[in-house]
Amino acid sequence: MKKVVLVVLGLLLVAGTVLGQTGVKKKRALPHEYGNVVINNYSEKAGLAPVEFNHWMHRSMYTCRLCHVDLAFAMKAGATNIKAADNKKGFYCGACHNGKTINNSKQVFQSCLLQYTQEAGKKCERCTPSAGM
């Protein structure tokens, strides 16, 4: 009788181990599914449209680590609390979008210009569509 109980327990243990590893895994997003990210922690409060960040365009050129570790962008939406003042100081977007960085032989535009003019507003429209109004 003990042998039967041990065999049944052994079979249950093996079956549990096998079935436990066939659970549903979280689907990992494919590169074309990254899409755009809307950054709106402070934009609307400042009278501007939210910033539209093209995640896939950046992801096609850089690893996740660059932005989410080295530049300290949070992985959770809305958790970074980016401000234009931070960009002007060279943090977050301003680390690369400083008007000096070269990418594929092309100078990267400056984010959050220090002086806002009507002409500068056209450049701001790249991220904040209503800025040039």
Backbone angles phi, psi at 104, to 5 degrees: 55, 50
Q: Cα–Cα distance between 127 and 133 in angstroms, integer?
A: 14
Q: Cα–Cα distance between 32 and 56 in angstroms, integer?
A: 7
pLDDT tens series, the chain, 133 aa: 888 888 888 888 777 676 666 666 667 666 556 678 888 888 888 887 888 888 888 888 888 899 999 999 988 878 888 888 888 898 999 898 888 888 777 888 888 776 767 776 677 777 776 554 4
Structural domain containing residue 93: 31-124
Whether 130 is in a domain gets the answer no
19 to 6, 12, 14, 15, 26: CA distances (angstroms): 20, 10, 9, 6, 17
Whether 131 is in a domain gets the answer no
Whether 20 is in a domain gets the answer no
Q: What is the CATH number of the domain that holds 71?
A: 3.90.10.10
Number of domains comprising the chain: 1
Whether 12 is in a domain gets the answer no
